[in-house]
Amino acid sequence: MSGNYQRVTKSGYDFYEVASLLQKSLRRGDVVYGARAANELFPMFTNYVWNRLMTVSAEDCADMVTQEIVALYDGWEKVNQNKKPKDKGRVFIAKAIVLLAKSRHSRDADVLNILVSDRFPEEELRAALAEAEPIIGVDKTEMTIPTYVYDVHTRRGRKMGMTKQKFLRDEEDCLTDSESMFGNLNDMIETPRYLAPQPLF
């Protein structure tokens, strides 16, 4: 292959520039440029478009939208079964573009990789590993089972008088950054009979 080979889109644009436009337009919430860039890459580079859209969902979005992009891809695959070339169902790509552009945006994941993980000082990593080594290297025979393991679901817990009510209370209390959909969760736990759940709002 010649060193002068240039990958181009169907209208002759530089492939890499259009690919960059696709992601950066979505990052800026611009559905027009996003759709135009995707159309320029479609259908010759359709797999690349879907891969880039999934990357955007993880790299640029604060909302959890990756599963929606995967579902749209699955829908696109379904409507294109037994069709060649895969030039039908472009609406699924458009829907993904709308979803990604309208999403709340955040670069935290990529920043975490580039500015934190990649820059984390080696000496600090080595110190952390040295500190963790005694914990990581504990032999199973030396492990002390925490008392919270012994709940109503274990033989020892039942012998200790543990109840389902205590299990529900203890496990709810130990959660970090928790939020229940039930506004009356405490009453539901404390009441031995059925208590209709109430919405949080």
Domain harbouring 102, CATH code:
1.20.272.10
In a domain, 86, yes or no: yes
Q: For the residues 102-106, what does the mean pLDDT come to? A: 91
Q: Is there a domain that residue 184 lies in?
A: yes
Residues 30 and 103 in one domain: yes
Its pTM stands at: 0.68
Overall number of domains in the chain:
2
Q: Are residues 141 and 83 in the same domain?
A: no
SS (H, E, C) the chain: CCCCCCCECCCCCEHHHHHHHHHHHHHCCCHHHHHHHHHHHCCCCHHHHHHHHHHHHHHCECCCCHHHHHHHHHHHHHHCCCCCCCCCCCHHHHHHHHHHHHCCECCHHHHHHHHHHCCCCHHHHHHHHHHHHHHHCCCHHHCCCCHHHCCCCCHHHHHCCCCHHHHHHHHHHCCCCCCCCECCHHHHHHCCCCCCCCECC
The domain boundary residue, chosen from 89, 108, 127 = 108
At residue 1, the pLDDT reads 44
| Residue 12 pLDDT greater than 90, yes or no | yes
Euclidean distance between the first and the last CA atom of the chain, given in angstroms as a whole number: 63
Which token pair is 92? 């699924």
Q: Mean pLDDT throughout 1-10?
A: 72
Residue 127 to residues 21, 103, 118, 134, 166, Cα–Cα distance (Å): 42, 39, 17, 12, 40
The domain boundary residue, chosen from 93, 108, 123: 108
Residues making up the chain, counted from first to last: 201
Q: C-alpha distances in angstroms, 45 versus 21, 40, 78, 146, 167?
A: 14, 9, 18, 54, 54
The pLDDT score that the predictor gives to residue 21 is 95
Domain that holds residue 77: 15-108
| Shared-domain flag, residues 42 and 86 | yes
Please indicate, yes or no, if residue 27 is contained in any of the structural domains: yes
Same domain, 142 and 102: no
**27/82 same-domain check:** yes
Task: State whether 162 and 102 are in the same domain.
Answer: no
For the segment 131-182, what is each residue's pLDDT rounded down to a tens digit? 887 766 656 566 677 788 889 889 889 999 999 888 888 888 877 667 776 7
User: Between 45 and 125, whose confidence is greater?
Assistant: 45
Is residue 63 in some structural domain? Answer: yes
Identify whether residues 19 and 96 lie together within a single domain: yes
Would 91 be classed as within a structural domain? Answer: yes
Q: Please write the tens of the pLDDT for every residue from 42-80.
A: 999 999 999 999 999 999 999 999 999 999 999 999 998
Tokens of 51: 């891969």
Tell me, yes or no, whether 165 lies in a domain.
Answer: yes
Domain boundary among 65, 87, 108: 108
